[in-house]
Amino acid sequence: MVLGDSLAQTVYRRVLLKLSGEALAGEKKTGIDPEIIAHIAGEIKEVHERGIEVALVIGAGNIFRGSLGDSLGIDRVTADNMGMLATVMNSLAVGDMLNKLKVPVKVMSAIMMNEIAEQYVIGKADSYLSGGEIIIIAGGTGHPYFTTDTAAGLRAIELSADVMLKATRVDGLYTGDPEKDSGAKKITSITYMDVIRRNLRVMDITAVSLCMENRMPVIIFNMFEKGYLIKIVHGEDIGTKIS
């Protein structure tokens, strides 16, 4: 790990990176695309080599969403539990790729499954980060009815991250869907309350409120633009900042 001058030039010491499950699927929309995971792991490795402490929370939309339960006739609590288990699969996949790149990583889980992932404990997770290991926190919050965005906000606050970075397919927050609306304009900065008032669906309201109450800044950015992650930790104005 490269410390010293490179760390002094960065704006953030510790970050929480939130990845959607859909991001891991790429164009396939479902499952896991190894090229996508390799790209993500490479970007994370570059940041880690600058001495930045990195924690990850990964969604499960590429495998199963708890909200799909109704359409399948599955009880909501059961469906949410299925979704939390799917986050473990994604976390193990990303962790394996980081291992292949010789990056020290620990997969932890809010759901007890000690055979494949260590139980998430705040103090232990903090110690791993301080010791130069990346941690991937699976299992959401460990409780139904909460999204992985809310889990990401919670973990960022618990671990005293400097910022929560939410990776998406677009380069920030827009007034509309830029993939469907050519007139949509990019928002470079916005307050938590404006996100809530304007019902901007970048995160669920619980996640936004949690970050607002605890003054956890959020940056929305495109993870698939090479080099964006490292530019953010060095203070470049990439994406949209919610604060």
Mean pLDDT for the stretch of residues 165-185: 83
The pLDDT, as a whole number, for residue 3 is 44
Q: Quickly state the pLDDT bin for 8 (edges 50, 70, 90).
A: low
Mean residue pLDDT across the chain: 91
Query: Distance between CA atoms of 187 and 31, rounded to whole angstroms?
Result: 31
The pLDDT, as a whole number, for residue 1 is 42
Taking only the tens place, the pLDDT of each residue in 130-162 is 999 999 999 999 999 999 999 999 999 999 999
Q: Which stretches of 21-133 are DSSP H helices?
A: 21-25, 34-48, 69-72, 76-100, 122-130
Mean pLDDT for the stretch of residues 104-130: 97
Query: Distance between CA atoms of 44 and 145, rounded to whole angstroms?
Result: 29
The pLDDT, as a whole number, for residue 5 is 47
Distance of CA 220 to the CA centre of its chain: 10
The pLDDT, as a whole number, for residue 182 is 79
Taking only the tens place, the pLDDT of each residue in 77-99 is 999 999 999 999 999 999 999 99
Q: Is residue 44 within 8 Å of 98, Cβ to Cβ?
A: yes
Return the DSSP state at 200: -
Q: Residue 170: which H helix or E strand, with range?
A: none
Domains, the chain, with CATH or none = 5-242 (3.40.1160.10)
Taking only the tens place, the pLDDT of each residue in 181-236 is 878 888 999 999 999 999 888 899 999 999 999 999 999 999 888 999 999 999 99
What strand order describes the sheet that includes 163-168?
118-119, 105-109, 134-138, 53-58, 14-19, 163-168, 218-222, 240-242, 189-190
pTM of the entire structure? 0.92
* For residue 4, pLDDT beyond 80: no
Taking only the tens place, the pLDDT of each residue in 58-72 is 999 899 876 777 788
CA dihedral 77, 212, 60, 128 (to 10 degrees): -110
The type of residue at 188 is T
* For residue 42, pLDDT beyond 70: yes
* For residue 100, pLDDT beyond 50: yes
Query: Distance between CA atoms of 221 and 237, rounded to whole angstroms?
Result: 10
Pick from 5-9, 42-46, 59-63 the range whose average pLDDT is largest. Answer: 42-46
Asked which of 8-12, 116-120, 171-175, 227-231 is least confident by mean pLDDT, the reply is 8-12
